[in-house]
């Protein structure tokens, strides 16, 4: 079986020699190659290791990397020659001894993706550093599976970076890599058959964790794009604006401001804030036809101003005729308005 092992690398030079040796030992029964995709100075070490390795070793050096680790993986898969591609990290947290286990699961010819899962019996994420990393990893996994229940119904660990994929079954052109969660992208944008094998996530031997606030934002953005398509920007900014609106209104009321005045001020602030956010982050799916910034703002403010005026009138009617609190009523009205605008924009 022709197999390509695709390994994105970043500051993991100390682990390359051991990694290549263990991959060679694990693939003695396969026609295999190793493809390192690098955006740092690791190629110097890879060239040295490749000169003595039993397997063919190829290097893709990305001088202008795009798409983060996920983009590196896709470049490696696109350049691969194997029927199957195995994706793994270069820091030895993914044991190369898992390679024949993953390939053995492909024997029936019906599987498209074989996932090495930390969440099956006999699997473990013990290599994560600290309780906070475990909590974040678990929360991300639960969120992804809740947002994409159909696509991920047969995958317990869409966050893993160790998996095998049948090269012919994925449409690379349809993928939109960002951040580090490439398996999530592959499963969400392709109709594939998934099987899983348990594995133990080892401790890091080289390099530094890529997990930070920026990666968290990219992950949430990726989930929104996968779940809502071209309306992901609408959902992301709308949700942020709704929370901000309620916080401003509650803060003003706590200072003694009349609830109607608080609602008007919070609406005005969030309308301007939402517009600036979509301009800053270039959410073209929210902009519509090309126009100058002033014209876009005038249109945006006019539409949302009418919606806020109607919402405030309804808020006043409800609060004055019932015992419902203003903040709770505002939250419900914002939610209704959000859904109506979402349905409206989804028809575009």
The structural domains of the chain, ordered by start, are 2-211 (3.90.550.10), 229-346 (no CATH)
pTM over 0.75: no
Count how many Cα atoms sit within 13 Å of the Cα of residue 334 in the half-sphere of its side chain.
23
Phi first, then psi: what are they for 191, rounded to 5°?
A: -90, 105
pLDDT of residue 179: 66
pLDDT, residue 5, reads: 96
Please tell me the predicted confidence (pLDDT) of residue 270: 92
CA distances, 77 to each of 35, 81, 102, 152 (Å) = 9, 8, 17, 22
Whole-angstrom Cα distance, residue 94 to residue 12?
Answer: 13
**CA dihedral sign, ordered 11, 17, 22, 24:** positive
Q: How much is the pLDDT for 343? A: 57
Helix (H) or strand (E) run with residue 183 in it: helix 182-189
**What is the pLDDT tens value at each position of the chain, 348 positions in all?**
689 999 998 778 888 899 999 999 999 999 999 999 987 767 778 888 888 888 888 988 887 767 778 888 999 999 998 999 999 998 888 999 999 999 999 877 688 999 999 989 888 776 665 676 677 778 888 888 888 888 898 999 998 989 999 998 888 888 877 767 889 989 988 889 999 999 988 765 554 555 555 666 677 777 777 776 656 666 777 788 888 999 999 999 999 999 999 999 999 999 998 888 877 764 544 444 445 678 878 888 888 888 899 999 999 999 999 888 889 888 888 888 776 666 555 544
How far is residue 223's CA from residue 210's CA, in Å, rounded to a whole number? Answer: 18
Q: How far apart are CA 36 and CA 57, in angstroms?
A: 8
Query: How does strand 113-117 pair with strand 163-166?
Result: antiparallel
Residue among 89, 69, 117, 91 at smallest CA distance from 204: 91
SS3 228: helix
Report the run of H or E that residue 231 belongs to, with start and end.
none
């Amino acid at each position: 079986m022709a197999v390509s092992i695709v390994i994105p690398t970043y500051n993991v030079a100390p682990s390359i020699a051991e990694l290549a040796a263990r991959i060679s030992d694990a693939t003695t029964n396969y026609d295999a190659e190793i493809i390192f995709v690098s955006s740092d100075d690791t190629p110097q070490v890879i060239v040295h290791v490749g000169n003595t390795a039993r397997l063919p070793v190829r290097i893709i050096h990305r001088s202008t990397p795009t798409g983060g680790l996920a983009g590196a993986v896709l470049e490696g898969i696109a350049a691969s020659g194997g029927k199957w591609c195995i994706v793994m990290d270069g820091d030895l947290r993914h044991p190369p001894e898992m390679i024949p286990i993953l390939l053995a699961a492909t024997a029936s010819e019906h599987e498209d993706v074989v996932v090495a899962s930390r969440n099956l019996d006999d699997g473990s994420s013990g290599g994560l550093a600290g309780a906070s990393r475990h909590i974040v990893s678990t929360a991300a996994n639960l969120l992804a599976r809740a947002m994409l229940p159909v696509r991920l119904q047969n995958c317990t660990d869409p966050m893993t970076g160790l998996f095998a994929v049948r090269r012919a079954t994925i449409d690379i052109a349809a993928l939109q890599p960002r951040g580090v969660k490439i398996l999530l992208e592959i499963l969400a944008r392709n109709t594939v058959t998934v099987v899983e094998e348990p594995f133990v996530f080892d401790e890091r031997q080289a390099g530094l964790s890529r997990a930070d606030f920026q990666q968290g934002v990219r992950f949430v953005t990726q989930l929104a794009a996968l779940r809502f398509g071209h309306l992901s920007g609408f959902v992301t900014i709308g949700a942020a604006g709704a929370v901000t609106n309620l916080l401003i209104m509650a803060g003003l009321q706590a200072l003694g401001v009349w609830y109607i005045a608080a609602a008007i001020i919070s609406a005005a602030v969030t309308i301007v804030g939402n517009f600036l956010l979509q301009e800053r982050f270039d959410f073209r799916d929210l902009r519509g036809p090309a126009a100058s910034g002033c014209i876009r703002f005038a249109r945006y403010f006019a539409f949302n101003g009418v919606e806020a005026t109607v919402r405030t009138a309804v808020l006043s009617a409800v609060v004055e005729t019932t015992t419902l609190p203003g903040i709770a009523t505002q939250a419900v009205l914002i939610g209704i308005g959000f859904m109506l605008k979402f349905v409206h924009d989804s028809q575009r």
